Each structure stands twice: as C-alpha cells, then as structure tokens.
Structure 1
C-alpha cells in the first residue's frame, strides 16, 4: 500500500487587528501651581473616529488635549499624574515614560491650534520647512508630500497655482486649513484640534469640517469645541467636561 502523506493547508497570514482604542487614560490629573485643571479623568477614545470634547470655558478640554502630547512640559509648576497610553506605530506608548522623546511623540500626535499659526514665507514653505527638519526627502517626494497634505486639507484646488505666494495672503479659513495641512504633512497617527473652527465663518468652518470627516478614516481625531450643534453634526463620540472633571 503506498504511503500517504497528510497535507495540512497553510494557515492564512495573520491580519493586523486595528485597536479599538487609540488613547486610554486612567485617573489623569493635571495641576499648575496650586490650581487643579484636570481631576481624575478616566476614559478611552476610539481609534479612527472623531471625538469632540465639549464643555464651557475653563472646563479642562484644552488642558486634557495638551496632556496627550506633553505640551504642558514647558509650563512652570505643571504636574501630571495618572496613566496615559497612546497607540502609535503599532504599539502602546506611555507619553510620560522616561524613554519617550517628546519631540518624536509630537510627530506622531499632531496639533492644530485655535488660531492659525503661520510660518513666515510662502504657502509652500509652510509645509516644506517642517518636513525638511524631520525628513531628508528627495525633491519629487517632498513635492508629492506637500500636494497630498494640501489635498487632505481640502486646500489644493484653491492654492496649487500660487504655492509661492505669501501664506499671509490666504483668507482666515484657508490659513487654518494650511495649518491642518502642515500637521498632516508629517503623517501623524493622532491629530489634536483645539477649536479649529472658532474664528471661522460658516462657509470656511464647513470646509474644515468636511476635511475632518474625511480624515478620520485614516487618523484618530480629538477636537475641542464649544458648539454642541457642531459636535452633534460631525462627532462619532462626544465627551463632556465641567470644572476639570468628566460629566457622566
């Protein structure tokens, strides 16, 4: 009788499972001098979703946002306690671990501020300069990265013919989308936005909102807002703050 060998099918390659959460906080507190800005915050923020932080002025929304990429580090007397984990580069990272490089952390967790913060010079230079400081890209790759970032910020069609014009000649809404493009050019995995539409009119704000809705398919977005209607319109997840605490 001929010998028969058992043939076992090759198992399929393991699939990378996208984490449910991108940010996890446990008993996170922040104080500056004698003032408590955040008190015992425990929450998880979902990956590849748009989370909006709501609450009155001084409720701790921006303070929480800035804790995620250590923007409180230069503040005299700032003290952070509790636990924070962020999922970047396929692994969980503690932003406050001694081995964590804050500069490298902020490349993976980008930030867009409430008011546009332009660099001197042209539209193109506003994107190329940060890239040049981080990456030694060939000229063609640099140009492609600039175009992709501007497209992702829904700005390419409006500025592609005048990239060498001063960035200051853009409208307020365009300037804010340029700041968004600048953050995106570094390819962050998590993007923090501190009231990015607060100073924009309805049309400009709508364009920025449309860009954010598209971006959440590739990035985890966490955005501060004072506008409940905006949160209901664009958010997948809403977190409410009051007096430095979460509102149940």
Structure 2
C-alpha cells in the first residue's frame, strides 16, 4: 500500500463503504494513477461511522477518509473526496486527472464538471438528507422524487456543458477528474431508475468509460470485511 514520489514513500489507508459514490471516486482515481490503497470498510448501514472511534478519524462521521503516512511515519487524514483527488494529482507531479497547468481555462472547465456532480447533485441527495426528506411524511416516494429532481437538474447542466467540451469522455478524449466523479453518480442514477433519455451525451460518455476496467463497477464498488 505505497507510492513513491520524488523520494517520498507514502502509504494510504482508505476508510470506505461499497455503496459510497464519494469513496468510489477515490478508488477509481487511485487505480488510474497506480496508487495502491489499503481499504478499511466502514458499515454505514449499521451505523459504524457514528462511533467515537471513527469520529476520532473523521469528525464528520462520513466516508471517505484517507490516512496518509509518510516516510517519517507522520499521519495526515484527508476527509473530502475532491480534496483527496486534487492531492493525488499534486503528488503525482503530472497532468493526469486535470489538463496541463499551462491550460488554466481547461482545468477550470474540468473542475466545473466536477462541481456539478460533487456540489450540485451530491450534497442534496446525500443519504442522510434524503432519508430526512423521507421521514417527514414516512413516504419512500418523497425520497425518490427528491433525488430524481436534484439529479435531473444536475445531469441537465452536465449535458449542456458537454456541447462545448465533451469528446469521447467528459473533457475531450482523455479521462479526467470529471469522469472519475461521473461514473459512480450515473450508476446511482440508474439505481434510482431516473429517466436518463434527456442526457444522451452523458450516457454515451458513461458507456465509453465503463469499457475501461477501472470504471467497471466490480472494481470500485468493493465489498470487504467491515471494520468495527
């Protein structure tokens, strides 16, 4: 579970849950970048993330949480998926998840696509919030309608942006951070049985991405022994 960058040996422990789209982003990116992760599976369904012991790791009581240990055994914990993706990009000293640094507008466009998934869609449909919507009247359909509405608006925005920047993938013909975020989100939309016909370009890109091994669901929706 290590990577070496400019002489710095680092190991990575990811606290994850197989149903977490945010954790999936990290697993996909790590596979793309050749970063080895040790996985510790947190059982969100059983409330393990609410324990005091996990709260000491991530005060937000959420996954993902990435523990980075450097060559001097110093540990740093990162707990937001996009911050972790940006960190991976920086330690690899390359333009692997983002366009080159001398193309700032292109990098901003990729981040714009990332923002639609990670900011516009996912905070509002986060499991905790969606379940609160459901509990207002005790109706499952309220949760589904809430999630459908948020997802539909987000994917409509994504579809519109692809007219200018899309190619084989979300930004041209190279896999970027946007694709890393898109695939788990689109998979979740299918799980919620959202009507995806209004987003043919997004669907076409998703279909291209899942031809790549790292984007196949069995390689990122990883189940394992649950940690206490």
The TM-score, its normalising length taken from structure 1, stands at 0.27
The TM-score, its normalising length taken from structure 2, stands at 0.28
The structure in which a higher percent of residues are helix is 2
Structure with higher RCO (Cα < 8 A, 6+ apart): 1
The structure in which a higher percent of residues are strand is 1
